[in-house]
Amino acid sequence: MDHTQAIQHKATEKYLLNELDPELRDQFEEHLFDCQDCAMDLRAAAMFVEQSKVILAEQSQPLVAAQPAAIGKSISQGWVSWFRPAFAVPVFALLLAILIYQNFVSYPRMMQAINQPQAIPWASVNVSTRGTSTTTVKAHSGQGFDLLVSIPQDPSYSSYSLGLYSPAGKLQWSLTIPANSQDDTRSIHVPGAGLEQGTYKLAVTGINSSGQSSSLGSYPVELQIQN
């Protein structure tokens, strides 16, 4: 069985519903070892069913205590009902709709966005300049930007620590970079998640081989959010 035949036979759904005859079931199980797409679909479908069982079990609480025999019978009937067409067909129809959307809409859009060249907003920070003016960068909401940080080489430092502080003065993140690079301009990407409009500050600290640190300054970067 190849991938096309598996799709035509709806092998993933029928496999979970135990509706494949023994020959097709064996062929589909052999196919799973070679087809990553079918294996992923089967795992996703199985997880969907298991999670749905948990949710439905939480929502159906008995109002009165039942006898042990009745409880066993109820549980047995509940499990069997999952494989009845009246219940299974809508569940798997929803699952298939999700898988189709991911495979034919969401995933291609994501790959297209990844492979498309993008002009990323950026701002330049020169650590050697004292009393520098505020650097401005414009970005869309949720979009990150690059900081081109120019640090002059200084043999007394073995590394540098960079810390970005939000307009409220809260540390967003910190990063340590080595000082032995031939190029003193480093490109630092600032993730877009959680960014707000306002003036950020990039604090730069030099660290010597003994671990002692010295502040090299704090540099303002104004982020303007565009609609």
pLDDT in tens, 181-199: 566 788 888 988 888 999 9
**Sole residue written with tokens 């589909």:** 28
Q: Which residues are CB-contacts of 53 (< 8 A; sequence separation ≥ 6)? A: 82
- Kindly state whether residues 11 and 107 are assigned to the same domain: yes
Q: Which residue has the higher pLDDT, 171 or 119?
A: 171
Same domain, 9 and 109: yes
Tokens matching residue 1? 């069985």
Neighbours of 12 (CB within 10 A): 26
Domain boundary among 99, 115, 131: 115
Q: Say which CATH number the domain at 169 has.
A: 2.60.40.10
What domain range is 105 assigned to? 3-115
Q: Write down which residue in 72, 97, 115 finishes a domain.
A: 115
The set of residues, in sequence order, having a beta carbon less than 8 Å from that of 15 and lying 6+ positions away, is 25, 28, 42
Please indicate, yes or no, whether the overall pTM of this predicted structure exceeds 0.75.
no
Same domain, 54 and 80: yes
Q: Measured between alpha carbons, how far is 35 from 12 in angstroms, rounded to an integer?
A: 12
- Mean pLDDT, range 146-159, rounded to an integer: 89
Single-letter amino acid code for the residue at 86:
A
Q: How far apart are CA 176 and CA 206, in angstroms?
A: 10
- Counting Cα atoms < 13 Å in the Cβ hemisphere of 40 gives 7
Q: Is 203 found in the same domain as 167?
A: yes
Q: Where are the beta strands (DSSP E) in 102-143?
A: 122-126, 135-140
Last residue of a domain, one of 95, 115, 135: 115
Res 163 pLDDT > 70? yes
The verdict on 178 and 104 lying in the same domain is no
Cβ–Cβ under 8 Å, residues 173 and 186: no
Q: Residue 107: name the closest of 155, 43, 158, 37 by CA.
A: 37
For the record, the structure tokens of 167 come out as 């307009």
Strongest mean pLDDT among 19-28, 80-89, 196-205: 196-205
Give yes or no: residues 8 and 100 share one domain.
Answer: yes
Count of structural domains within the chain: 2
* Structure-token pair, residue 114: 């990844």
pLDDT tens by residue, 136-149? 999 988 888 999 99
24 plus 109 within the same structural domain: yes
